[in-house]
Amino acid sequence: MAWLNRVKREAPEVAGQASGTTLPASLVDLLASIDAESLLLASGDAIIYSTPGIATFQLTRDRFLINNSLMNLVRAVRRSGEQQEATMELPRGPIGEGMHDLLVRVTPIGDDGMIAILIFDDSEMRRLDAIRRDFVANISHELKTPIGALSILSEAVLGAADDPEAITRFANRMQAEAQRLTGLVQEIIDLSRLQDGDPLKSGEVVDLVLAVKEAADQTTLSAESRKISVVLSVPDQVEIAGSREQVIMAVHNLIENAINYSPEGTRVAVALRVQDGIAEISVSDQGIGIPESSLERIFERFYRVDAARSRATGGTGLGLSIVKHVATNHGGDVSVWSVEGAGSTFTMRFPLSPNNPQPTLKAVEAK
Closer Cβ to ligand ADP, 177 or 285, answer by number: 285
Q: Which of 172, 306, 328, 333 binds ligand ADP (CB under 6 A)?
A: 306
Closer Cβ to ligand ADP, 87 or 229, answer by number: 229
CA 314 to chain centre: 23
d(CA 215, CA 232): 11
DSSP H or E segment with residue 38: strand 37-41
Dihedrals phi, psi of 306, to nearest 5 degrees? -130, 100
- Among the listed ranges 12-20, 41-49, 170-178, 314-322, the one in contact with ligand ADP (CB under 6 A) is 314-322
Q: How many residues does the chain have?
A: 367
The CB-of-316 to ligand ADP minimum distance in angstroms stands at 5
- The DSSP symbol for 59 reads -
Sites for ligand ADP among residues 235-264 (CB under 6 A): 253, 257-258, 261
Q: Which of 51, 219, 316, 329 binds ligand ADP (CB under 6 A)?
A: 316
The CB-of-259 to ligand ADP minimum distance in angstroms stands at 8
Dihedrals phi, psi of 309, to nearest 5 degrees? -65, -40
d(CA 129, CA 147): 27
Q: Is 286 in the site for ligand ADP (CB under 6 A)?
A: no
Dihedrals phi, psi of 85, to nearest 5 degrees? -140, 145
Q: Which of 234, 290, 326, 348 binds ligand ADP (CB under 6 A)?
A: 290
Q: Which of 177, 190, 239, 285 binds ligand ADP (CB under 6 A)?
A: 285
Q: How far is CA 339 from CA 62, 241, 280, 289, in A?
A: 56, 33, 21, 5
Q: Is 319 in the site for ligand ADP (CB under 6 A)?
A: yes
Q: Is 163 in the site for ligand ADP (CB under 6 A)?
A: no
Q: Is 51 in the site for ligand ADP (CB under 6 A)?
A: no
| Half-sphere exposure for 40 (CA within 13 Å, toward CB) | 26
- Among the listed ranges 8-16, 31-39, 216-224, 318-326, the one in contact with ligand ADP (CB under 6 A) is 318-326
* Bridge pairing between strands 37-41 and 114-121: antiparallel
Closer Cβ to ligand ADP, 12 or 343, answer by number: 343
The CB-of-317 to ligand ADP minimum distance in angstroms stands at 4
The CB-of-232 to ligand ADP minimum distance in angstroms stands at 17
Closer Cβ to ligand ADP, 18 or 189, answer by number: 189
Dihedrals phi, psi of 233, to nearest 5 degrees? -135, 110
- Among the listed ranges 23-31, 61-69, 224-232, 285-293, the one in contact with ligand ADP (CB under 6 A) is 285-293
Q: Is 310 in the site for ligand ADP (CB under 6 A)?
A: yes
Contact 139, 145 (CB under 8 A): no
A 10 A CB-CB count for 314 gives: 15
Q: Is 298 in the site for ligand ADP (CB under 6 A)?
A: yes
d(CA 102, CA 44): 25
d(CA 59, CA 75): 16
- Site size toward ligand ADP, by CB under 6 A: 23
- Where on the chain is the footprint of ligand ADP (CB under 6 A)? 253, 257-258, 261, 285, 287-290, 298, 303-306, 310, 315-321, 344
